[in-house]
Structure formats: structure tokens, C-alpha cells
Structure 1
Amino acid sequence: MRALLILPLLAATALVPPTGPALASGTDPTAMTAVNASQAAIQRLADRLARLEEDGLDPRHYAVPAPELAATDPAAYRAGTLRSAQAALSDLLLGRVNGLRGRVDLRRDPAAANLPAWTAELAAAAEPAQVIDRAADLPPDARAIKAVLAQYRAGVAAGGWPRITGDTRRTLEPGSTDAERVPQLRARLAATDRAVTDLTTPVYDEALLDAVKRFQASEGLETDGRVGTITWTALNVPIEAKLNQLRVALDMRRGQGPRQTERRIEVNVPFYRLQLLEGDRAVLDMAVIVGRRDRQTPMLNVRMTSVQFNPPWGVPERNAREDLLPRFQRNPAAMRAGGYRLFQRVEGESIEIDPETVDFSAYSRNNFPYFIRQDAGERNALGNIKFVMPNNDAIFMHDTPDRHLFTRGARAFSSGCIRLERPMELLSAALSGTSWDGAQVNRVLASRATRSAPLARSIPVRLFYSTVIVDGGQVIMRPDVYGLDADYARALDRATSQRVASAEGGATRGTGAR
């Protein structure tokens, strides 16, 4: 059975905050009794909690009482179901996962969620299942993401999609014949693309080429139709991993406060995009290059404070040992040709060393007593402009001489810093309000002299990680390049106990994770 995964944006309906009965002054909403809910309504609530998978949550975490208890002990059934609903409501409003290491990009605002008011309405509602429904649909884009989540859940239930077991180290070229891999490729694409109906022909024909390009576009890859390592890897991502990305996307959106209105820069790392935003409007949008998987760009909330023209590059020790040393061992002349200078620390002072006196072959990544700087210039790895945003990870944004890399779909090539597709446009926006104009900038750049310019007002910069967005009526997904969604999903599935307030009154032990 094939699962067709179409990603529509469902029409949004207004979601209003809870409007339950007014509370007497000093009343604890968590101590109220759900006097309005009939036993039938409690059963409907239990049925809704059993469907929390629709919302990306695991119903088993909420200890919903067994249906048999309703007949033998209706009061205990009511109390237990309401306790379970309270725990689920908390996770739906605030997010189940908090405090992941390094994830400063996760935004939670418990005050904005107003859990006490929702708890009060749950306790007093004649139909508490409807309160759960509204809370589940509250996050931005929730309905659109949940619609696609339902399709992936159906795909998992149908057995997922087939794995390609042929040699994925070799590139499959359009027009070629491969009796093993082409039928496997067809079968895999047919699981998500209704247009693929021929599952046996071993020739990589035009119809299959179109399907491959559609798949590459959906993954944000280069749409060249060549099936190389990157495309093979994307094809073999299990459907369960994609489903988890959608679950994570839902949970990340929960408990967020009001959207910022201040002018700000946001970089979505797995989408390789930078936006300069004013309110909800993007006044600048460009491609970026981010850190490789082994040198990941960290998630940050910082402020851009200045720009530097013609920056020199103090090569980080890891780059010097792992990247430049092998290069100089192959070609010692590359040091001078690239504008690099070699230094050694002697009795606390930095002494420049003539690279022609150094036998680079005598050193290794574990034994390299020098440090390297690269002078400003056309070959400098930072290009002509560096955007300074002080942080403990030494991360900044910069120009780059490697312009050809921006044509690639997957752009995790750097050692952690952000390389900009159109740095001059960002420079113009950053220097607004200062005395710098285009003519002055051009003169400084032409001089090759290093010079800094403070911004008139610092700009907030947020580096964040979201592999799922909703744009233009479509849910768009990108590969989990750093595996952060997989980490989040493991936390989402962790059945760590927490203390929750009972809708029947008092406090009890629940099983929602934080």
C-alpha cells in the first residue's frame, strides 16, 4: 500500500483563549470540580486523550484510565481522566520538552500560555474534550502540520516506504540502465509521488528524471537529477524519522510568546536561509552557508554590534591543524600564495616564522606548534566584510570568496560561522542610521585597510533550528542535518514524571516530560 504525502495548508480558523466561568476571588482553578461534565462527556474526553498521537504526543504518557473503570468505579474514572487531561493540557500549551542542551533557540513563555485559565475551563467545561481540541490547535501552523502528520502516520501504518539497498556510493546518471537500483528508486519514489507508476523499467528515463527532480526539490537539494550520495541518503531516511520531525515541529511551536516586532535577523540553519525582519515582513532574504555536521553552527541569541571591512583571519586552531596543515603538506607554496602567515609563541610573544624554513611534513594534527593568520585580501576566507556579534562561541557572519557554493542545495560547508550570499545588502541595512554611505564603503574596501564601523543600533540575531515551516500554503520539510530533531524526539518520548495539578483538586503525579 502506498501512502501519498501531499502537504496542503488547511484553512485556519480563529482560536480564542478560554472563556470559562468567572472564578471567585482567591479560587485556585486547579482545585475546581468538573461538575458540568456528564459521564458521557468524560468518556468523550478519554477518547480524545487516546488520540493524542494526532498532536504528536504519546497517549501512554498520560495514564488515561482503562475504559472498564467507568463501569466499576465511575468517580475514580472521572477523576483519573481529568488528571490525565490536565497533564496533556499542560504539554499542549507549554510544550512537552524544555531545557535541551544547546537549544537556546527554543522559545517558551508560560505566562503567555495562561495555563491556570485553561485549567479552570477544563475543570468546569461541559465538554472538556473541546478544551483539549482548542489547545491542540493553538500553536502557529498546528492544523497544517497535523494534517501532514496524519498522512505520515498512515504511511507508517501501511509499512513505510521501501529502502534502497543497491550501491549508494555510485552516482546514478539520467539515461543510464541499472537493473538493481533503478527499480528500487522507482519503488521508493512511488511511495510519495503518485505520478510514478512504472516500477520495473531498469532505464533511468525522462519520467523518472522528473520524479527525481521533484524529490530533490522537496528536500532542498540541487535539482540536477543526478542521484549521488546526498540524494541516496535523503531517499533512505525512514518515514518514522520524517514523522518525528513533524512531531518536533508541533512541540517547538507550543508555549511561544507574542511575535517580536523589533527589526531583527533570523537564520534558520537547516533551511540555510537568513531573513532580516521588520515585524512579520522580510525586508531581506538570502541563502547562507552554515557549519558542517562535524563543526555545527550553534544556536544563538545575540546582537550584531559592528562590521569590519577587509578583516584578517585568525585561523582557529582546529582549522589550522585539520584543514590547512594537510594542504600545506601537499603544497608548501600554498601558504604564501593564500596570504597566510605563520606564528609561534616564544616566551609569551608571538614571533612570525618564515614558512620556507618549516618542514610541514614533520607535523600532524596532534603536533603543530604554530598558529596561522590570513591577511585581508581577495583570497581571505572571510571575504571583504565581517559582521560582529559578540558571543562565547566565536561565531560571526561574513563574506566569502567561495561564491559557487551558494548554488548548492545543501550548504553545510563552513566551520561554524555564517557565510552570506549577499553581504553588501546586509551591510547597507546594518549601517542605516550611521554616517557611512556607499562611496565611503567602496573607498575603504578598495584601500584593503582593516577598519571597523559600529552600528547606530545593535540588531538582535537569532540562529535557530527548524526543519519544518509552513509557507505559501504548503508544509515544507528539510533534512535534519545536525540530528537535533532526533535528539528532541527522544526527549519528547521520554516518560519522565512531573508534578501536575489535578482538575479534580489537589496535586498528583503525572507522566508528562519536561
Structure 2
Amino acid sequence: MRRALLLSFLSLPLLARLPAVAQEAPASLAASDGAVARLAERLARLEEDGLDPRHYAVPDPAAAVADPAGFRAAVLRSAQAALADLLLGRVSGLRGRVDLRRDPGSVPLGAWMAELASSAEPAQVIERAATLHPDAAPIKALLASYRAVAAAGGWPRITGDTRRTLEPGSTDAARVPQLRARLAVHDPGLVEGAAASSPVYDERLVAAVRAFQASEGLETDGRVGAITWGVLNTPVESKIAQLRVALDMRRAQPAPSPERRIEVNIPHFRLYLLEGNRVVRDMAVIVGRRDRQTPMLNVRLTAVQFNPPWGVPARNAREDILPRLRANPESVRARGFRIFERVDGETVEVDPSMVDWTAYNRNNFPYFIRQDAGDANALGRIKFVMPNNDDIFMHDTPDRHLFSRGQRAFSSGCIRLERPMELLSDALSGTSGWDRSRVDQVLASRRTVSTAIARSIPVRLHYTTVIVEGGQVVMRPDIYGLDAEYARALDRATSQRVASLEGGAARGTGAR
């Protein structure tokens, strides 16, 4: 029965599957035959906007001769469906993506549809909708350049042992020529002259690698290790998918809140404290590894804890601490870790040196672990509390050296802060009785102290791989594969927004 309903729904004209406000738009085009032909031609180029023209049933121009009225009606239906997706976004929500934001109410869709039907040049209406967001033009330009690379066969894939690091000045007859050919896509001069086939990783090629690393947000040391090899071998089609996603994510975006707020961009490893569009503070962060991803969240920072102990999550205890206990239980105790177990309903501390840790594995680990507050504590000296069901928080860290890395997905899901004292100053602003002197006293005491903050701060953890800064597009790798998932939703035969009218496609937790 459900399949029959879906097939019946998909057999309806595109206009009938649009939101009700769109269905109230005029049912004919006022434009001349030439303008209608130009509209059809523009719709056939919707790939420029990250959309697939095949989803909109754009009619063949040859149909205009055989059936002029039918052609005009078909073009109108295609244009209305495309216009709705260009304005409202094709993907309405995905499971777990509470960071996706749309404000359909901010888009006067009925007025746009009326303008489309009455315009002397309706193709210009489509073009204006496609570039409504200020980021759209530079993203579309980069998308066009990557599509040209793809049309030419893509960039060369580097083969060989990409687990082994290539050091500046070294010689590698297999990988260096491939590396030079790969980077020649960006710098054709690398394959010109006598050095083009040289196996030496020379200064010119090192400079090109550093420039590439900088563009990808990697460490710019010129050393080509596993991470750099992996990014070099990312297919151009993946970049195209990311740019298509970036365009769709920006459609019907709500206006920025004037409220002071924190936003953490996971794939860019950055935290921003914002007021409206103004950046008040900006710092590097460390986020969750691919196998322990930081979830997308919309929460509020409500409290601060000084000298926090760390209740080690069961997964971390089994996968991280247990191997250390097997190797050297005393070193674990020296870092402030304490081992506990339940005996007859009571919590009993265990001497780690008295346990045969080889008898346990991740499937039969009966202990729980806590790390006392101190310099070696994994949470550092400050924890920022933002209540949520995933037990995610922001915190200090003793591993300061990791902030110099370009790719900073090292945590078990929580957010480690580059400059926690600066964020602490912002968080405690307006909280009576807390100044820098008292903060220093509490930290020096080594006592665990918590305080609510006077003004809670909204915190948004989001996943945006493509940003635009100063008119330049900055891309970062799709570390969690969430752009790839979004792209698959983008390529479904019907948009989630449209299909949700039937009730069976848009059941994600993301907001409209």
C-alpha cells in the first residue's frame, strides 16, 4: 500500500509536489518563446548550482517545435521545482545533524514563483535565486574549476607505499615523479624543464607541497606522510561533492542571532565566540577522532568546573587505559588514575599492581577508573559544562603540543581548547564574585570547585567543511564523511523537502 502511494505521488506533475504556497503561483509563463528557451537552457545547467538537472525533468528543446504549449508548461514545472530547491535547499534534514539550519519562513516563495511566471526573462530569476547567498558566487566558481578537472580525467592518483613519509631532499624514483605530476594540476611549472622527471624531492617541489598543505589546513612542514598522501589522493569528485553540499547548506539559512554565542566548526578545528556577525574570540580546538566523533549539538554553556577529576568513560578505560595497565600499572597510577570495582554493592579501590591485567580484555573489563585532578589530568584545569545526553564538554588539556598540528582530530569526542583561560574570562563575565584573582586562587588550591555562570551561552557544534573568507573559498577534508552522506541525500530522485509531503523521506533530526 505504501509503495503504491509513493508511486502515485511520484507520478504527479512536479508542480503538484511543491509546497502549497508554490502551487498557488500562476500556471503559465508570460515570457516570449525565446525567453522560455533560454530558461530551459539555464535549467539544463543546474549542475553549476550543485543540482542535478535530471531531477527536474527539463524538457528537450526539440519539443518546443512539436508541441509549443506543452513545452512551455513543462519548462514552467521544471523551473518551479528547481526554484523551490534553490531557495529552500534540497535536503531538509539528516539523522544526527541538528547543526543543519533552515528558515523557510524567511523566503517569500510565493512571490518568487509569481515573479518567475511573470518575468520577461525568467532565467534571470533562476540565476538570482542561485546566487542569493553571498558565498554562492565564489563556491560556484571553484565548483566549475573542479568540474573542469574532472572532465579532463581528474588528477593523477599516487601509488606506492603511502604509509612511508617522504622527507625533503630524499630520492624516490617511484613517488616523487607522481607527486610532481599531481601538484602540477595547481602549478604546471613543476613539470617543465630538466627537473620534471627527477626522482629528487627538491626545494621547488617541497615549496609546492607546503603550499598544498597550507591550502588544506595541514602542517606545512613539507614532509609527505600518511595524512598528506591521503589528502593528495582524495578524488576530485569528492571535492565536487563537498562544494555541492556547501551550496545547498546555505539555502534559506537563518539570520545570525545577535546573542553572544559559541560556534565550533568541527572539520576546521576552530572555536568562535560571536556577537551577531562579529568574531569576538577565535581559537584552535581538538575534536573527536573519526572512530570517536564529536556529535553535532545545540546546547548551552551553563557552568565551569575548576580542577576537574575525570571519570574515564568505559570505552576509554577498555581501549586506552587497559593496554597501559598491562604495560606498566605503576605509570598509570603515577598519572593520577585510580581503579575501582564493585564488591557486594560497595565501591572498593583496587591496587593496580596486584591485578593480572592480561586476564582482561575489552569484553570482560569489570573495573571503572577515575583520574584525580592535577597537572596530568586529561581535562586540564578547567572544564566547561554544557549539559547534553552525549556527555560532551569543552576543556583544558595538558597536551598543548597537539595544537601545532594542522589536522586536530585526536580526542574521544569532547572539545579541547587552545586558550581556555580566555574563554573562561568570557564565560565568567557578569558572574558575581569571580575575578582573575579568585580564579588563580582556586586553581592553585587544587580543589575541585564548580560555579554556575550568570549568563548561559548558546553553543553550536557544527560540521561545515567549506567556508568563505575574504571572498576566498577554504576547504577542509570531510573527516567524518558527513558531506558524503549529505551528497547522497542531495542525489536522491526527489528532494527530502518534497518527499516529506508523502511522509516517508525526511525523518532526520536536523532542523529545517
Does the TM-score normalized on the shorter chain lie above 0.5?
yes
Matched, 1:114 2:111: no
Map of 1:450 onto structure 2: 448
1:186-335 map, 5 Å: 186-198=180-192, 199-335=196-332
- Paired residue for 2:172, among 178, 187, 212? 178
Displacement of 1:256 in angstroms is: 0.7
Displacement of 1:349 in angstroms is: 3.2
- Paired residue for 1:156, among 132, 150, 153? 150
- Paired residue for 2:98, among 81, 86, 104? 104
Map of 2:68 onto structure 1: 74
Q: What stretches of structure 1 move > 4 A for 4+ residues in a row?
A: 26-29, 497-501, 511-514
Counterpart CA distance in 2 for 1:35 and 1:375 is: 72
RMSD after superposition: 2.1
TM-score of the two chains, using structure 2 as the length reference:
0.91
SS of the residue corresponding to residue 179 of structure 2 reads helix
- Paired residue for 2:80, among 83, 86, 91? 86
1:393-412 map, 5 Å: 393-412=390-409
CA 1:300–1:140: 2 relative to 1, 3 Å: farther
Tell me if structure 2 keeps the 8 A contact 1:62–1:512.
no
Paired AA for residue 295 in structure 2: P
Map of 1:476 onto structure 2: 474
Map of 2:339 onto structure 1: 342
Tell me if structure 1 keeps the 8 A contact 2:91–2:497.
no
Map of 2:27 onto structure 1: 33
Deviations 1:280-330 (A, max 9, x none): 111111000000000000011100000000000000000000000011111
Counterpart CA distance in 2 for 1:437 and 1:487 is: 46
Q: Judging by fraction of residues, say which structure has more helix.
A: 2
Counterpart CA distance in 2 for 1:129 and 1:89 is: 10
Map of 1:130 onto structure 2: 124
Counterpart CA distance in 2 for 1:107 and 1:512 is: 14
Counterpart CA distance in 1 for 2:316 and 2:143 is: 41
Q: Identity of counterpart residues, as a percentage? A: 73
Matched residues, number: 482
Displacement of 1:119 in angstroms is: 1.3
Displacement of 1:360 in angstroms is: 1.1
Displacement of 1:29 in angstroms is: 6.7
Counterpart CA distance in 2 for 1:31 and 1:335 is: 69
Matched, 1:379 2:376: yes
CA 1:498–1:197: 2 relative to 1, 3 Å: closer
Counterpart CA distance in 2 for 1:235 and 1:498 is: 33
Counterpart CA distance in 2 for 1:443 and 1:451 is: 11
CA 1:310–1:72: 2 relative to 1, 3 Å: same
TM-score of the two chains, using structure 1 as the length reference:
0.91
SS of the residue corresponding to residue 460 of structure 1 reads strand
SS of the residue corresponding to residue 160 of structure 1 reads coil
CA 1:497–1:258: 2 relative to 1, 3 Å: closer
Displacement of 1:183 in angstroms is: 0.3
Paired AA for residue 232 in structure 1: W
Paired AA for residue 452 in structure 2: P
Displacement of 1:193 in angstroms is: 2.3
Tell me if structure 1 keeps the 8 A contact 2:285–2:403.
yes
Map of 1:423 onto structure 2: 420
- Paired residue for 1:51, among 40, 45, 48? 45
Paired AA for residue 450 in structure 2: S
Paired AA for residue 345 in structure 1: R
Displacement of 1:117 in angstroms is: 1.5
Displacement of 1:74 in angstroms is: 1.1
Tell me if structure 2 keeps the 8 A contact 1:495–1:512.
no
Counterpart CA distance in 1 for 2:190 and 2:490 is: 35
Displacement of 1:147 in angstroms is: 0.7
